[in-house]
Chains A and B, each alone.
Chain A
């Protein structure tokens, strides 16, 4: 499986080349176009219960779609729902990524996706909910963001502070604590940065340059109220 990002920027697409018999799993609804040799199967990753728990718990889509080059090699075009960048990374079998629920776009056959329960404080305050996706295995993984995607590289014990709603993915070698943005509660609330995550390396944290929640609030004022 090979991939290429088309139209990098706000409205990208991924072109995935599949050899005969190869598959790629994608977020349901992500397929834009495909060669006639490609079959689309809807598959519940991790079985029915796994899919159900993913749906109920992390809010991720119930089904992933599996695109299989069953009648010869071909290509698939995939795109996320929201405007924003796509990043492709290679999983080597040891690295493990925690991905917030809307961040997954597609992955090779060897990519394993599980729902993972967070600790209560992280779940309550972290802004990603109680359940996130734990993605491991081997092969290419494609994540998407809202806005541009930015990679923060952390050396061992190096720290970085991230507004929790801008999180996309982070490696499991990092740790993070949730804390108030300012020393006082009032200042935390009035600064518009109520809670932040303090990450500690080693590892990589991917963040998105726009906050979907804030964007939603901003756009709401322009939506006419229906009678």
Chain B
């Protein structure tokens, strides 16, 4: 009799890939019906003679073994319907080992799912971390850059930027800027930076700060200002970009992992080289909106601490943005918005009222000296 095979039988004298056979279950055992031409002999096996386990590549097959005379036989059942039928008809003494086999299968499936699930989870998690946590990674990396490196980096760019400009060495404008810087930096607690502020002769209305404490103020900006307090406001904002290490954060963000790697490995030459190689222009580096707000807020507090009238900063920014929006370089990197002015005013209102102390210089004289030193304008 030949039927559709539903199991594979292994044992002595049988093919290594297994002899296909048909298994019929009954109340007291199973009957093995060989296919036509098979070396297998038809036999009946009592349930009591069987031992049960899980097996196969995915541990999802039911393995039944017994001995026939001197030779051992192993039967692999794969068909789920047949396995269910076997579990139903098997006597109670087999139930324990059947349960063990089923538990084995469940555990194998569970760990399979668990491993895949956690692998997918880890990949997703890393993706999300990179997507949302990049700021945290950047901050972590920046916090590891020693101040000396930052100064070296800033100095290199500073020398480079000033080599093409006319730097004012003396005069009342330089004196005024130095006085402002002195008053502001005196009030910075635990200042790790040695600030260097230069006045550059140029009609450009701008000021910028480089990592490491290098600040440049253009005479164009000073001419537009109506008081020393206004320039001091810009200066305070720029100093705070340095103190919060905004330039470095932007740089690390733009250079990406290579920069982080060179920071971790302690390769400062590499970092500076990397910045230069990529033509990263620190002078025109745009800060993010959050960084601007941070520099605004901390800037206005520093002004207040230094007893310099803080409203000069707001007024100057507002006036410049209204008049010469297109021509004022400062706003290409520091866009002024109504929201930003509101934020500054709110911050100012929250600060304790301190009576401002005037500067020792006369702003009119400073501006006149600037007009004289620039014959072209």
The residue from B16, B57, B59 contacting A153, defined by CB atoms under 8 A apart: B16
A4 contacts the other chain (Cβ, under 8 Å)?
no
Q: Is the CB of B61 within 8 A of A156?
A: no
Given contacts A98-B57, A155-B10, A204-B17, 13 further A-B contacts (CB under 8 A): A89-B17, A92-B20, A94-B20, A119-B112, A156-B10, A156-B72, A156-B74, A173-B8, A173-B55, A174-B57, A202-B16, A202-B74, A203-B10
B65 contacts the other chain (Cβ, under 8 Å)?
yes
Residue among B8, B35, B58, B78 with the highest chain A CB neighbour number at 10 A: B8
A3 contacts the other chain (Cβ, under 8 Å)?
no
A residues contacting the other copy or chain, number (CB 8 A): 27
Q: Is the CB of B78 within 8 A of A96?
A: yes
Residues of B within 8 A of A202 (CB): 10, 16, 18, 74, 76
Tell me the bound Cα distance from A201 to B65 in angstroms. Answer: 14
Residues of A within 8 A of B78 (CB): 94, 96, 172
A37 contacts the other chain (Cβ, under 8 Å)?
no
Interface string of A172-211 (1 = CB under 8 A from B): 1111100000000000000000000000011110000000
Tell me the bound Cα distance from A24 to B353 in angstroms. Answer: 91
Q: Is the CB of B5 within 8 A of A93?
A: yes
Give me 25 A-to-B residue pairs in the complex whose CB atoms sit less than 8 angstroms apart, sorted by A's number.
Answer: A92-B5, A92-B20, A92-B35, A94-B5, A94-B6, A94-B8, A94-B20, A95-B8, A120-B115, A120-B119, A154-B16, A156-B10, A156-B65, A171-B17, A172-B57, A172-B58, A172-B61, A173-B18, A173-B55, A175-B57, A201-B16, A202-B18, A202-B74, A204-B16, A204-B17
Q: What secondary structure prevails in chain B residues at the interface with A?
A: mixed
Residue among A89, A92, A175, A201 with the highest chain B CB neighbour number at 10 A: A92
**Interface range on chain B: under 10, 10 to 19, 20 to 34, or 35 or more?**
20 to 34
Tell me the bound Cα distance from A174 to B10 in angstroms. Answer: 12
Residue among B18, B55, B57, B59 with the highest chain A CB neighbour number at 10 A: B57
B56 contacts the other chain (Cβ, under 8 Å)?
yes
B274 contacts the other chain (Cβ, under 8 Å)?
no
CB-CB nearest in chain A for B57: A172
Interface string of A160-176 (1 = CB under 8 A from B): 00000000001111111
How far does the Cβ of A197 sit from chain B's closest Cβ, in whole Å? 12
CB-CB nearest in chain A for B112: A119
How far does the Cβ of A138 sit from chain B's closest Cβ, in whole Å? 10
